[in-house]
Chain A
């Protein structure tokens, strides 16, 4: 049942741009896709490994800047810049994780936040390298890929961008799914459950946390690289820690430690402000109130609600042997 519904969903999403050609909804979907990748990356270290990083915007931004600078300064093709951006982001994840993961809980949260702010300050003021506050513009879209029979696939249309992001989102989810359901993933969840306890069972918590953090940074960098090429313009604001907070909110609303959680969260938290635009400056009051209510009444997020309450009730009404 689950396999079929997943396949149906994928087919639906793949066919979407064929009839939905309006650019605004496509744009929203692309942004949701990019944020989903980023939120999923945070999910790995936060949801599954239990370390609450508040500084993930740093890796997102580093991925974006690496990708942009490689393409503009060194003439790299997007297809080389993207993996490079992921690797560089992962490298920073490793370097920042080394000192930061020695701390725990709220200390870790603030330490990652501090690193994030340091990254932002450096990017903003190292003008010779990053062009500082003016940002980098004219970041190219992915270069066309020549395919044997079909000819070149170009990425100039929005539909093409959509498929690109969609592809990488699927890739990200695939990898995270594999990680989470492997013995390594179980180790991460053990660490989340209680680090000291896990260590007493022989788990090397530090090494595992570091790997999780690094991989998480890798995928955050992936999202950043896609963001850079899609928008064509980035600035130090792309590393602003508010992005990390937003990702956290997507995770919570959607459901931490679930695979669909980050996506659902990204969808809802992107759509809500857009639909409330008419309220102009009063939006922020509703948004804040909404967050508080969700957190108090839906602590496991929407996916958690579905799995814990709604789906079992549906199952009860339609027991398996009748379907």
Chain B
């Protein structure tokens, strides 16, 4: 080959080499937030919700210029890994993220969060977990923060409010999901309810991930003539229980827990009409926020409607961003952790978080609602003043 062609080849390779391996033109600096969630498997739609909620929040913050830490501005980057809802894959994902410089991580699920919590203090990263089981904060991990509110306040206040709002209800039948968090919810509610001198006529556990025929459990529960059925599970199975109960002739009330979203209205509106009470943790008293979230979901992930987990994902990112700004650092995660209780309540909150304690649990405002003639009707607003729950009934 002629010499000038050969050197041409060498030069072009060299330029190509430079282009590939040189750092890209410096764009904005980024802070990564890791989302470890089931993107495949049976719970994949919850995982997707988690991710979309987080991404929408990050997009919104970035559109407003990102996070201002000290003098610099950082853009948020959401990094996602699939853990298939298996705790040891959660740990693998955590290790991988830590290895690539992620310092703020969000996990989904009690078991998965427990596995990640084992690493949070030793490795010094901030773990913002979406879990409902009491064990995740009882563990006392300093770098762990629970995003959903502690269920004690929801569960016991629901029972208290039921007393006032539906005085004709004497007997309650409980059907709970065998997830530890849902089970605990049922237990707290039952304790509070019987503490008022009322009755729990039955308490049945079902693995709602696997079972969708509720005739056996309903055939067993309904003859005991409950006035209200507390069903602790997600919207879709709840709608099936509601429908099947009505088919079997049940006329009473249904009570749902805080994981229930808006879908129940679409799925079983007529069946619950006027006979429903649900804890809503979306900050529904501001309809503009719900509209914003629904629109954002339509644009980002058409066909998927926002659920509680998505709202938690959104909340998680905002908490992280505000805490980074407050702490004034992107490297000292201990300082960021300490800043978290100081940034609530904040205006863009989807969940109305009011305060945090040192164990990483939070208190938020929530609302008790009924669904009447096609519309959500708000019955009461519940929040904590100091240690005591305050129930404000809405006329």
A83 at the B interface (CB under 8 A): no
Whether A24 contacts B44 by the Cβ 8 Å rule is no
Q: A233 and B110: CB pair below 8 A?
A: no
A231, B115: Cβ atoms closer than 8 Å: yes
- Docked-complex contact A283 and B82, CB < 8 angstroms: yes
Residue B40 at the chain A interface, CB threshold 8 Å = yes
A293 interface hit (Cβ, 8 Å): no
Residues of B within 8 A of A132 (CB): 180
Bound CA–CA A27/B95 (angstroms): 7
Contact residues in B for A277 (Cβ distance below 8 Å): 81-82, 96
The reply to whether B180 and A280 form a contact with Cβ atoms under 8 Å apart is: no
Assembly CA distance A233 to B41 (angstroms):
22
Distance between Cα atoms of A280 and B51 in the complex (Å): 11
On whether the beta carbons of B111 and A28 are closer than 8 Å, the reply is: no
Measured between beta carbons, the chain A residues less than 8 angstroms from B80 are: 280
Type the 1/0 row for B69-112, where 1 means its CB is closer than 8 Å to any CB of A: 00000000000111000111001100110110000000000110
Residue A152 CB within 8 A of the other chain? no
Bound form: Cα–Cα A133–B132 in Å: 12
A119 CB to closest chain B CB (Å) equals 16
Majority-rule SS of B interface residues: helix
Q: Which residues of chain B in 104-140 are interfacial with respect to chain A, using CB atoms and an 8 Å cutoff?
A: 110-111, 114-115, 117-118, 133-135, 139
> CA A104 – CA B114 in complex, angstroms?
40
In the bound complex, CA of A233 to CA of B133 (Å): 14
Interface of A is mostly: helix
- Nearest residue, chain A, Cβ from B134: A134
Scan A261-284; emit 1 where CB is below 8 A from any B CB, else 0. Answer: 000000000000010010011011
CA distance A22 to B123 in the complex (A): 13
Within 214-254 of B, Cβ neighbours of A (below 8 Å) are at none
Contact between B99 and A24, CB atoms less than 8 A apart: yes
Other-chain residue from A124, A137, A274, A281 in contact with B118 (beta carbon distance below 8 A): A137
Whether the Cβ atoms of B39 and A280 lie closer than 8 Å is: yes
Closest chain-A Cβ to B119's Cβ sits at a distance in Å of: 8
- Count residues of chain A with CB under 8 A from any CB of chain B: 26
Q: Which of B81, B115, B118, B183 contacts A133 (CB 8 A)?
A: B183
Point out the residues of chain A lying under 8 angstroms from B91, CB to CB.
27, 231
Contacts of A227 in B (CB 8 A): 88
Q: Which residues of B have CB within 8 Å of A28?
A: 92, 95
Interface residues of B in 48-65 (CB under 8 A from A): 48
Size of interface on B: residues with Cβ below 8 Å to A: 31
**Is B178 part of the binding interface, using a Cβ–Cβ cutoff of 8 Å?**
yes
The number of inter-chain residue pairs (CB within 8 angstroms) is 80
CA distance A254 to B327 in the complex (A): 50
A237 & B111 in contact (Cβ 8 Å cutoff)? yes
Contact A124 B178 (CB under 8 A): yes
B271: Cβ under 8 A from any A Cβ: no
- What's the least CB distance linking A29 to chain B, in Å? 11
Are B139 and A137 in touch, CB under 8 angstroms? Answer: yes
Complex contact B40–A233 (CB within 8 A): no
**Interface assignment of A23: CB less than 8 Å from any CB of chain B:** yes
- Per-residue 0/1 for A94-131: is the Cβ within 8 Å of any B Cβ (1 yes, 0 no)? 00000000000000000000000000000010000000
One digit per residue, 1 when the CB lies within 8 angstroms of any chain A CB and 0 when it does not, for chain B 355-372 equals 000000000000000000
B179 at the A interface (CB under 8 A): yes
Interface string of B164-198 (1 = CB under 8 A from A): 00000000000000111001000000000000000
Are B111 and A232 interface neighbours, CB within 8 A? no
Contact flag A138-B139 (CB < 8 Å), given A24-B96, A31-B88: yes
Given contacts A235-B114, A281-B40, contact A22 B99 (CB under 8 A): yes
Q: Are B92 and A134 in contact (CB under 8 A)?
A: no
- Chain A residues with Cβ below 8 Å from B41 are 284
Of A27, A138, A281, the residue contacting B82 (CB under 8 A) is A281
Check if A299 is an interface residue, CB within 8 A of chain B: no
Give residues of chain A (219-254) contacting chain B, Cβ–Cβ below 8 Å. Answer: 227, 231-233, 235, 237
B376 to chain A, nearest CB (A): 32
Is A135 an interface position by the 8 A CB rule? yes
Cβ of B87 and Cβ of A235 under 8 Å apart?
A: yes
> What CA separation (Å) do A137 and B99 show in the bound complex?
24
B178 CB to nearest chain A CB (Å): 7
Q: Is the CB of B87 within 8 A of A233?
A: yes
Cα distance, A25 to B212, chains bound together (Å): 42
Name the interface residues of A7-59: CB closer than 8 Å to any CB of B: 22-25, 27-28, 31
CB-CB under 8 A from A231, the residues of chain B are 87-88, 91, 115, 118
What chain B residues lie within 8 Å of A27 (beta carbons)? Answer: 91-92, 95
Instruction: Give the chain B neighbours of A124 by CB distance below 8 A.
Output: 178
Seed contacts A135-B87, A137-B118, A284-B40; 7 additional CB < 8 Å A-B pairs: A23-B95, A28-B92, A135-B114, A233-B115, A274-B96, A281-B48, A283-B40
Q: Which residues of B contact A (CB under 8 A)?
A: 39-41, 44, 48, 80-82, 86-88, 91-92, 95-96, 98-99, 110-111, 114-115, 117-118, 133-135, 139, 178-180, 183
* A-B contact list, 23 entries, CB within 8 Å: A23-B99, A24-B98, A24-B99, A27-B95, A31-B92, A133-B110, A133-B178, A134-B135, A135-B87, A135-B114, A135-B135, A137-B139, A138-B118, A138-B139, A231-B88, A233-B114, A235-B111, A274-B92, A280-B39, A280-B82, A281-B44, A283-B40, A284-B41
Closest 10 CB pairs of A and B: A24-B99, A232-B118, A133-B180, A27-B95, A24-B95, A134-B180, A235-B111, A284-B40, A233-B115, A134-B135
